[in-house]
């Protein structure tokens, strides 16, 4: 036993030396901009609660009412008796909101991505992924056992080459080709070039799946996500996935698609079949959140206002942020240790900004991942910019 632990310790120590050791901080109270973390008052610039709904009074009340009506645990998987009226209504409302024939709930986005890949692919099939896709899409593709290829980031001609090559290796046309992309790239904040991706997938009879974890609720005029941003619909992107734990402020995820696609996932996806349904109260809270974002555009308007304001301030302070129009605004640092030390210094000054290092991002591209929320006030942003510019100056 000692021997086994010693081996772990050695690997952990190595990781520390590489400045890649990950550790958790303890936060008190709800997710919001001003929080207490590790007993310190901080302003958070690292949440995915982009619309500030995770602690919204109406949504909280909906969850409390949900507990009164449905209890706490759902007690079983959806295919046993865990699929409540609340889950079913939420699926219908998600389908309507996204404009897809059907939607299917999953307990987490990670499981949704694994489930779709496993349901659609086997070892004779092909899966193509953007190099910067989220880990859950990469894992889904790898675990499916299909022939796995990554194309250059947001590069449709790179995908085209891989698709052409794949077509050359098989004679019959029965192989499934699945192309997976983030809608908004989670560590870079840029938006996938969906119109040409969709055209290419149509031309090559490939399925296109968009993981819109960071676009759903935040992009498009009414928050319908990256498809609305480009005026696309379910005919252009046959598989749409989004999570509910980010802008929507609750938990879980869904897949939207055709009736046949959803039924196939229900029959085949092990991460759907063999897991307990999310609590019905979460479905009730999510239904409330979905109504709220459709009735009140102030949240999205405020987020967009903050994005513009933040970028304007960065410009004026000559901070070289990446070219992102979304709530994710990365400040590239490069070196792992440097990124970590700036993040620590910021914490001491009362800001939570996470440093993102390899393997989450490619080598040499360690960065501060600054995320904005509808709940940030001008003063929060001003203070961050002021602090950042003093640090980056003294640093270089
Ligand atoms: C967060 C995220 C997921 C995982 O969703 P969870 O519900 O947190 O498991 C999947 N894809 C992307 C792009 C994400 O950002």
Identify the weakest region by mean pLDDT among 14-28, 139-153, 208-222.
Answer: 14-28
* Cα–Cα nearest to 48, from 373, 381, 331: 373
pTM over 0.75: yes
Identify which has the larger pLDDT, 168 or 386: 386
What is the residue with the minimal CA distance to atom 6 of ligand 1? 109
In short, whether 236's Cβ falls inside 6 Å of ligand 1 is: no
In short, whether 189's Cβ falls inside 6 Å of ligand 1 is: no
What is the residue with the minimal CA distance to atom 3 of ligand 1? 109
Query: Which CATH number, 3.60.70.12, 3.40.50.970, 3.40.1370.10, 3.40.640.10, labels domain 57-295?
Result: 3.40.640.10
Report in angstroms the alpha-carbon separations of 149 from 128, 240, 318.
5, 20, 38
pLDDT band at 360 (very low <50, low <70, confident <90, very high): confident
In whole angstroms, what is the distance from residue 241 CA to residue 338 CA?
A: 35
Q: List the structure tokens of 345.
A: 């210094």
Domain range list for the chain: 23-50+297-395, 57-295
Phi, psi dihedrals of residue 67, rounded to the nearest 5°: -65, -40
Does residue 395 carry a pLDDT above 60? no
pLDDT band at 20 (very low <50, low <70, confident <90, very high): confident
Q: Which of 46, 109, 131, 330 to mutate to test the pocket of ligand 1 (most atoms within 8 A of CB)?
A: 109
Handedness of CA 122, 123, 125, 130 (dihedral sign): positive
- CB-hemisphere CA count at 13 Å for 198? 19
* Cα–Cα nearest to 332, from 362, 305, 359: 362
In short, whether 213's Cβ falls inside 6 Å of ligand 1 is: yes
Q: Which of 213, 282, 354 to mutate to test the pocket of ligand 1 (most atoms within 8 A of CB)?
A: 213
* One-letter-per-residue 3-state SS of 42-76: EEECCCCCCCCCCCCHHHHHHHHHHHHHHCCCCCC
In short, whether 192's Cβ falls inside 6 Å of ligand 1 is: no
- H-run or E-run covering 354: strand 354-356
Does residue 394 carry a pLDDT above 50? no
Cα(378) to centroid(ligand 1), Å: 29
pLDDT of residue 172: 64
In short, whether 181's Cβ falls inside 6 Å of ligand 1 is: no
Mean pLDDT of 375-384: 98
What is the residue with the minimal CA distance to atom 8 of ligand 1? 109
Phi, psi dihedrals of residue 64, rounded to the nearest 5°: -60, -45
Report in angstroms the alpha-carbon separations of 343 from 192, 322, 367.
28, 18, 9
Query: Which CATH number, 3.90.1150.10, 3.40.190.10, 1.20.1630.10, 3.40.50.300, labels domain 23-50+297-395?
Result: 3.90.1150.10
In short, whether 109's Cβ falls inside 6 Å of ligand 1 is: yes
In short, whether 214's Cβ falls inside 6 Å of ligand 1 is: yes
Size of the chain, expressed as the number of residues it contains: 396
Taking only the tens place, the pLDDT of each residue in 335-347 is: 989 999 999 999 9
């Amino acid at each position: 036993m000692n021997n086994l632990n010693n081996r772990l310790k050695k690997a952990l120590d190595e990781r520390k030396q590489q400045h890649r050791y990950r550790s958790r901080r303890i936060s008190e109270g709800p997710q919001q901009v001003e929080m207490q973390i590790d007993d310190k008052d901080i302003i958070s610039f690292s949440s995915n609660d982009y619309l500030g709904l995770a602690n919204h009074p109406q949504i909280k009340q909906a969850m409390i009412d949900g507990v009164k009506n449905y209890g706490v645990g759902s007690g079983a998987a959806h295919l046993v008796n865990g699929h409540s009226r609340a889950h079913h209504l939420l699926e219908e409302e998600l389908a309507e909101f996204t404009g897809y024939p059907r939607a299917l709930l999953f307990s987490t986005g990670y499981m949704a991505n694994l489930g779709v890949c496993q349901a659609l692919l086997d070892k004779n099939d092909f899966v193509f992924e953007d190099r910067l896709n989220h880990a859950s899409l990469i894992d889904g593709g790898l675990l499916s056992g299909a022939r796995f290829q990554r194309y250059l980031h947001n590069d449709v001609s790179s995908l085209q080459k891989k698709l052409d090559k794949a077509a050359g290796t098989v004679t019959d046309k029965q192989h499934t080709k699945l192309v997976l992309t983030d809608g908004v790239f989670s560590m870079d904040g840029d938006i996938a070039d969906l119109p040409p991706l969709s055209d290419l997938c149509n031309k090559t009879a490939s399925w296109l799946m968009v993981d819109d974890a960071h676009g759903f609720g935040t992009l498009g005029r009414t928050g319908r996500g990256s498809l609305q941003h480009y005026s696309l619909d379910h005919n252009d992107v046959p598989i749409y996935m989004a999570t509910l734990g980010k802008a929507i402020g609750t938990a879980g995820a869904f897949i939207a698609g055709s009736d046949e696609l959803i039924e196939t996932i229900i029959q085949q996806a092990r991460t759907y079949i063999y897991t307990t349904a999310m609590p019905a109260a979460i479905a009730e809270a999510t239904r409330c959140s979905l109504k709220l974002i459709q009735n009140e555009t102030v949240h999205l308007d405020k987020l967009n206002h903050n994005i513009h304001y933040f970028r304007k301030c960065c410009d004026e302070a000559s901070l070289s942020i990446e070219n992102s129009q979304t709530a994710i605004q990365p400040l590239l640092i490069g070196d792992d240790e440097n990124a970590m030390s700036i993040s620590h210094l910021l914490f001491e000054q009362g800001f939570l900004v996470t440093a993102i290092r390899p393997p989450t991002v490619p080598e040499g591209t360690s960065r501060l991942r600054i995320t904005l929320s509808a709940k940030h006030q001008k003063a929060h942003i001003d203070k961050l910019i002021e602090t950042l510019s003093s640090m980056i100056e003294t640093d270089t």
